Amino acid sequence: MSESQETLSNLLQETRRFPPPAELAESANVTAAAYEEAAADRLGFWAAQAERLSWSRPWDEVLDWSNPPFAKWFVGGELNVAYNCVDRHVEAGLGAKVAYHWEGEPGDSRTLTYADLKREVSKAANALLELGVRKGDRVAIYLPMIPELPISMLACARIGATHSVVFGGFSADALRTRIDDAQARVVITADGGFRRGKPSSLKPTVDQAVADAPSVEHVLVVRRTGEDVAETERDVWWEDLVERQSDQHTPEPVDAEHPLYILYTSGTTGKPKGILHTSGGYLTQTAYTHWAVFDLKPERDVYWCSADIGWVTGHSYIVYGPLANGATSVIYEGTPDTPNRGRWWDVIQKYKVTIFYTAPTAIRTCMKWGADIPARYDLSSLRILGSVGEPINPEAYVWYRETIGASRTPVVDTWWQTETGSIMISPLPGVTAGKPGAAMRPLPGIVADVVDDQGRSVPNGGGGFLVVKEPWPSMLRTIWGDDERYVKTYWSRFDGMYFAGDGAKKDDDGDLWLLGRVDDVMLVSGHNISTTEVESALVSHPKVAEAAVVGATDPVTGQAIVAFVIPRGEAGEEVEGEAFLKELRDHVARTLGPIAKPRQILIVAELPKTRSGKIMRRLLRDVAENRSIGDVSTLADSTVMDLISAKLPEAKSDD
């Protein structure tokens, strides 16, 4: 392909294939026919999926797309999301079924059946009503990973209030901005949670945030750690208010397009965007995709998604999708290395988890810690593994499949975004012969493509921009309070298409590979090279666990590739020497070609990541270009940048 046509280089070649296990394929929830059915009648397909839910009023029209990009799905329909996630399962005789096995970090645990959940959610709904919260009001939720988090979300949904969950790791400022933007009337929080073996407080951050947030009338506080907290007039304790409520509450039916929640994404610049999701379409697609992509058999599976509920993955695949399907899930409060690096595998062994869904960053961390740790646990209950959040490097995929899945389990690499609400591109475990590193195909009912900078579909073998060409039920409806920004950010780059902001390529079979954010693409001697491919080449070296690459200004090539590499635990001492760095550079040149050879490689112990595990390449670019380090407020661990800057004597850090 000539350079002028090339939007994004296609350098990585991968030939390994993993067909579905015969037994799984035979009894799979979804077969290849679903693709054809959905292609023949997309709206009919989604209408059929909406029948998974209980509607108190049937819809009149599947989709109203008369005013793009403002979609209305299941027009005229009414339902209650909490009723669909909880009550109807109890009514169907499943009250004694476990909804959540909750595991606290210190080792305490709690089991919530669907009947328990119905009582708890009803009490919390009555408590919110007593605090004056009404249908359409916003409630901010700033909680650790404890049962009161999904209970609070469902309580909001039950009365038609709109929740805005804010990550427990965010600062007072970040919390205040989000409370203000949504004009939340109530904040639900806790004294704190447990992280890394210690209580980690939340309440002081809330006090600071609401001191300056006039919309907040009450702060509802769950006691989790038992540590002393300052009390203000706005505070009410969960144990006082919620516990004395009636456990009877009639769920309030809402319009299919009633706002269910706002979830803020920071984006690269400017004010956080409040992504708005509504009720009927959102629940339809989360329920369908959770059932289809994980081949969920609710009567026997034990499902665990290790994400934080404060991330969209937790909203859709710990709370709404699994509960709508009547699944049994695990929720774990803490970190994977507390009290030791085997904790996750211990949880899988204890609850006999059959489906496990996590992020590539976690998989690479486990690679770094070494395969001997999971080898000490019985992981034979696992039958399907999932990945989300970043492109999964082929080597990490194969490690996950072999080491965690004993080479039996399919790995589903699921591409989606806060904005898409549910999984959009993914293998189907009973249908797809998986390719390590590829998200493969749009799910049935989803029309996605890779286009060049003119919006033309690229041929197989080409790279470009990922777009979605038809509306989908769980799409964002707007940015809260800013329709114009919604249109501008997502619908203006290419006429009539949703622009996801990700680079992707189509391989020779037309299967899709995600290549990272287009903002991160590097321009080296006139070639657009994706960070993902160079990182994957580095991770394919047996001594490398994790890698992040960025383009740094270079007088000769425009940009040059700078790589930050974390060695595997097993790699030994020689990883500090010049010889090893040369070996890595040569390895990349051999794997991808000389154009992709890093100019510079730095060996580091950690990489800067957000709480959802995404590498913040922007900060690494600051280091690579010897600038002072920019905004670090969304970093999971703010000390990481100091360690990295210390590797480059010239670079200095601001904080």
Residues in touch with ligand 6R9 (CB under 6 A): 265, 311-313, 388-391, 413-418, 439, 500-502, 514, 517, 612
Cβ 390 to ligand 6R9 shortest distance, Å: 5
* CB of 72 or CB of 517, closer to ligand 6R9: 517
Q: What gap in Å lies between CA 437 and CA 655, rounded to an integer?
A: 36
Cβ 567 to ligand 6R9 shortest distance, Å: 24
Q: Which residue has the tokens 């030791």?
A: 340
Element (H, E) at 65: strand 61-67
Cβ 6 to ligand 6R9 shortest distance, Å: 21
* CB of 325 or CB of 612, closer to ligand 6R9: 612
* CB of 280 or CB of 391, closer to ligand 6R9: 391
* CB of 262 or CB of 581, closer to ligand 6R9: 262
* CB of 208 or CB of 417, closer to ligand 6R9: 417
CA atoms 32, 37, 39, 43: torsion sign: negative
At residue 615, the 3 state secondary structure works out as: strand
Cβ 417 to ligand 6R9 shortest distance, Å: 4
* CB of 522 or CB of 581, closer to ligand 6R9: 522
Cite the beta strand spans of 250-332 per DSSP E: 254-255, 259-265, 273-278, 302-305, 328-332
Cβ 474 to ligand 6R9 shortest distance, Å: 12
- For 484-513, the three-class secondary structure string (H helix, E strand, C coil) is HHHHHHHHCCCCCCEEEEEEEEECCCCCEE
What's the start-to-end Cα distance of the chain, in Å?
A: 46
* CB of 358 or CB of 612, closer to ligand 6R9: 612
* CB of 3 or CB of 519, closer to ligand 6R9: 519
Cβ 315 to ligand 6R9 shortest distance, Å: 10
DSSP bridge partners of 288: none
Q: What gap in Å lies between CA 110 and CA 185, rounded to an integer?
A: 30
* CB of 142 or CB of 415, closer to ligand 6R9: 415
- Both tokens of residue 493? 């780059």
> Where are the alpha helices (H) located in 244-300, listed in sequence order?
280-293
Cβ 510 to ligand 6R9 shortest distance, Å: 17
* CB of 133 or CB of 497, closer to ligand 6R9: 497
Cβ 617 to ligand 6R9 shortest distance, Å: 11
* CB of 342 or CB of 444, closer to ligand 6R9: 444
Cβ 526 to ligand 6R9 shortest distance, Å: 25
Name the phi and psi angles at 103, rounded to 5: -120, 115
* CB of 501 or CB of 569, closer to ligand 6R9: 501
- Both tokens of residue 366? 């486990």
Q: Is 155 exposed, middle or buried (0-12, 13-18, 19+ CB in 10 A)?
A: buried
Q: What gap in Å lies between CA 566 and CA 580, rounded to an integer?
A: 13
Cβ 318 to ligand 6R9 shortest distance, Å: 12
- Rg of the chain over Cα atoms, rounded to whole angstroms, equals 24
Cβ 615 to ligand 6R9 shortest distance, Å: 11
Spatial CB neighbours of 396, under 8 Å, sequence gap ≥ 6: 360, 363, 364, 367, 539
How far apart, in Å, are the Cα atoms of 599 and each of 372, 540, 541, 590, 605?
34, 18, 17, 15, 20
Q: Are 127 and 249 a contacting pair, CB within 8 Å?
A: no
* CB of 161 or CB of 620, closer to ligand 6R9: 620
Largest CA distance in the chain: 72
- Both tokens of residue 365? 């961390």
Cβ 317 to ligand 6R9 shortest distance, Å: 9
* CB of 417 or CB of 638, closer to ligand 6R9: 417
Give one DSSP letter per residue of 531-569, joined into a string: HHHHHHHHHTSTTEEEEEEEEEEETTTEEEEEEEEEE-G
Cβ 409 to ligand 6R9 shortest distance, Å: 17
Cβ 532 to ligand 6R9 shortest distance, Å: 8
Of 306, 279, 63, 246, nearest to 157 by C-alpha is 279
Cβ 509 to ligand 6R9 shortest distance, Å: 18
* CB of 104 or CB of 389, closer to ligand 6R9: 389
* CB of 169 or CB of 326, closer to ligand 6R9: 169
For 39, other C-beta atoms within 10 Å of its C-beta total 12
Q: Is 228 exposed, middle or buried (0-12, 13-18, 19+ CB in 10 A)?
A: exposed
Q: Which amino acid would we find at residue 258?
A: H
- For residue 372, what is the DSSP state? T
Cβ 573 to ligand 6R9 shortest distance, Å: 34
Cβ 481 to ligand 6R9 shortest distance, Å: 19
Q: What gap in Å lies between CA 350 and CA 49, rounded to an integer?
A: 34
Name the phi and psi angles at 343, rounded to 5: -55, -45
- For 104-157, the three-class secondary structure string (H helix, E strand, C coil) is CCCCCEEEEEHHHHHHHHHHHHHHHHHCCCCCCCEEEEECCCCCHHHHHHHHHH
Q: Are 248 and 90 a contacting pair, CB within 8 Å?
A: no
Q: Are 393 and 536 a contacting pair, CB within 8 Å?
A: yes
* CB of 80 or CB of 289, closer to ligand 6R9: 289
Spatial CB neighbours of 645, under 8 Å, sequence gap ≥ 6: 623, 629, 651, 652, 653
